[in-house]
Amino acid sequence: AIDLSVTWLGQAMPGCLYNASGVWCREEEELEAVRASAAAAVVSKSATLAPRDGNPEPRYCQTPLGSINSMGLPNRGFDYYLDYARRYRYGSGKPLFLSLSGLSLDDNCAMLRALAEEGLPAVPEVNLSCPNVPGKPQLGYDFAATAEALDAFDAAYPGLYGVKLPPYFDPAHFAAMAEILNRHPRLAFVTCINSIGNGLVVDIDSEAVVIKPKDGLGGLGGDYVLPTALANVREFYRLLPGKDVVGCGGVKSGREAFMHILAGARAVQVGTCLYHEGPGAFARISSELAVLMRAKGYRSLDAFRGKLRTL
């Protein structure tokens, strides 16, 4: 039989797939639908301290090659997701991750401290990479600010945590970021990647952009981002010994999930595809991955994780 289970962060997951933060996870009903599906874990929409309406619509658009979004962190506020984490059925064997995207370092630390006080099994995934709050740069592209933030996170939160990284595009940046991340032993995982920020999709019929915020600039997902996502997974898998890399970007079938794991991913998140297909995508992609593994003679993910061949 094919074993798709994953053991990490001191716990076991029944499979390797779950949602990308932001997709099918803003409302409790959505979170519960993911948990009830073949997804192996659940991550909540990035929380800010206070609830947020987010950016004006239209703010999401699907294209033949994926998606563009400038949601602007619409979310129910941290207390809503903390309350869900208090009532979450951890016995289901599916871990709960809480994505945090404070609008300031103080807000991120306040949320981390509040979570720590609860002593819940929920694991924070701190978002260093939202590209869509007007006027706010992606923290993960400011190395000094990231270094300062991680020191503050270590002081605010005693447990294991992860960060959601933006895509990097230069070996010097992979190295610089890895040097910072490797200073933090309780930073247990990085999720690569968030959307490729500030793309522009043009509709030639209307001769206009397709989303309203930022005059049409938004984060790209889907087929557009797969090679960049795989590069970030493979580079950080090599550069962060002892840490896990969660793959995110361009997964729409067993094939891309296989690629991410081959590149080193411990687990794999699904975003754009989930947005359109719904939580049924997890059973389909899992089945496709199992068929692929069987054809290749792999019985578990450990048999091929990180074994991408070079030439």
Ligand X SMILES: O=C1NC(=O)NC(C(=O)O)N1
Pairing of strands 202-203, 66-69: unpaired
* 109 noted as active-site residue: no
Is the CB of 161 or the CB of 258 nearer to ligand X? 161
Is the CB of 65 or the CB of 283 nearer to ligand X? 65
Closest contact distance (angstroms) between CB of 43 and ligand X is 12
Q: Which of residues 23, 42, 73, 96 is near ligand X by CB under 6 A?
A: 73
> Among the candidate windows 63-71, 169-177, 252-260, 277-285, which touches ligand X by CB under 6 A?
63-71
Q: Which of residues 16, 130, 181, 209 is near ligand X by CB under 6 A?
A: 130
Per CB under 6 A, 272 contacts ligand X:
no
**For residue 180, cis peptide bond before it (omega within 30 degrees of 0):** no
Per CB under 6 A, 72 contacts ligand X:
yes
Per CB under 6 A, 108 contacts ligand X:
no
Per CB under 6 A, 44 contacts ligand X:
no
Per CB under 6 A, 128 contacts ligand X:
no
Per CB under 6 A, 232 contacts ligand X:
no
Q: Which of residues 19, 194, 232, 286 is near ligand X by CB under 6 A?
A: 194
Per CB under 6 A, 22 contacts ligand X:
yes
Q: Which of residues 71, 188, 217, 285 is near ligand X by CB under 6 A?
A: 71
Q: What value does the CA radius of gyration of the chain take, rounded to a whole number of Å?
A: 18
Q: Which of residues 140, 219, 264, 279 is near ligand X by CB under 6 A?
A: 219
Q: Which residues make up the interface to ligand X (CB under 6 A)? A: 22, 46, 69-73, 127, 129-130, 132, 194-195, 219
